Amino acid sequence: MIEISLLRHVKVNGPPALYGHTDIAPQVVQNKSLLTALVNSQQLTPYDLVISSPLQRCQLLAEQFSKTCQIPLTCLSDFKEMNFGDFDGVAFDDLNFDDSSQSNSQGWQLLEKFWHAPDDITLPKGEPLALFHHRIITAWLELIAQQFSNLSSNKKPIKILLVTHGGVIRMILSHVLQLDWQSATLQQHLQIANGSCSQITITRPFSENNKTHSVVNYIGLPMPSTI
């Protein structure tokens, strides 16, 4: 059995924007609180392995946690957030509705279209949703297959912490729950909170219909009042 906790990074140090591949720093105080919460939780239900997106808003926490609790850490580039192309890291305020310049107005219109049909609209120089989905699910299935092949013969469960991004977690949850990842409603409305943890339990790698058997379990981590 494999238990994987999908932990979203804390809030970032920047104005509201689409942050995808932009390597923006996490908020220091929040990151410290989340680290403390993780280290405390390690006493009860220890992780065996930490995997992280290489972007610093994930990796800083993963490195500190790995070092503090002496758990192996692997950074996997495939678990980076979606690439929002020309919009990536550009503050929404710089695309203000009141701004009369044509380019900004067009930018907002495109963003609106993208939000309403994320599978049909690709942002300029951005990653199409279908390719993002393919990247994440391929990496996810590889991770599971590899971990199952590594499982010791005594079948002791392995517990993994995957520190990653909101869009990545949404894609994995959609896959595990067999939801329609192309749905604009799901992409828009299933928000994964900063610092929240979604727990997935996989009892066997592939069932008769080639799907993973999984249980998704939302576990609160950490308290809103602590970050």
Contacting positions for a copy of itself (CB under 8 A): 37, 40-41, 43-45, 176-179, 183, 185-186, 188-193, 195-199, 214-226
Q: How far is the CB of 175 from a copy of itself (least distance, A)?
A: 11
Please identify, using beta-carbon distances, which residue of 19 and 83 lies nearer to a copy of itself.
19
- Amino acid residing at 10: V
Q: Do 92 and 53 form a contact (C-beta atoms < 8 A)?
A: no
Q: How far is the CB of 216 from a copy of itself (least distance, A)?
A: 6
Please identify, using beta-carbon distances, which residue of 127 and 133 lies nearer to a copy of itself.
133
Please identify, using beta-carbon distances, which residue of 125 and 204 lies nearer to a copy of itself.
204
Q: How far is the CB of 76 from a copy of itself (least distance, A)?
A: 23
Classify residue 47 by burial, with Cβ atoms within 10 Å: 0-12, 13-18, 19+: buried
Which of 38, 128, 35 lies closest to 83 in space, CA to CA? 128
Token pair listed for 165: 């991004």
Token pair listed for 190: 């299933």
Peptide bond into 15 cis (omega under 30): no
Q: How far is the CB of 64 from a copy of itself (least distance, A)?
A: 17
Please identify, using beta-carbon distances, which residue of 48 and 99 lies nearer to a copy of itself.
48
Q: How far is the CB of 177 from a copy of itself (least distance, A)?
A: 6
Q: Do 10 and 31 form a contact (C-beta atoms < 8 A)?
A: yes
Please identify, using beta-carbon distances, which residue of 51 and 202 lies nearer to a copy of itself.
202
Which of 60, 57, 55 lies closest to 76 in space, CA to CA? 55
Contacts of residue 164, Cβ cutoff 8 Å, sequence gap at least 6: 6, 7, 8, 9, 52, 53, 58, 79, 81
Task: Give CA–CA dist 214/3, Å, rounded.
Answer: 9
Q: How far is the CB of 202 from a copy of itself (least distance, A)?
A: 11
The continuous run of DSSP H or E covering 73 comes out as: strand 73-75
Q: How far is the CB of 185 from a copy of itself (least distance, A)?
A: 5
Q: Do 21 and 80 form a contact (C-beta atoms < 8 A)?
A: yes
Distance from the first to the final alpha carbon of the chain:
32
Please identify, using beta-carbon distances, which residue of 83 and 187 lies nearer to a copy of itself.
187
Please identify, using beta-carbon distances, which residue of 60 and 227 lies nearer to a copy of itself.
227
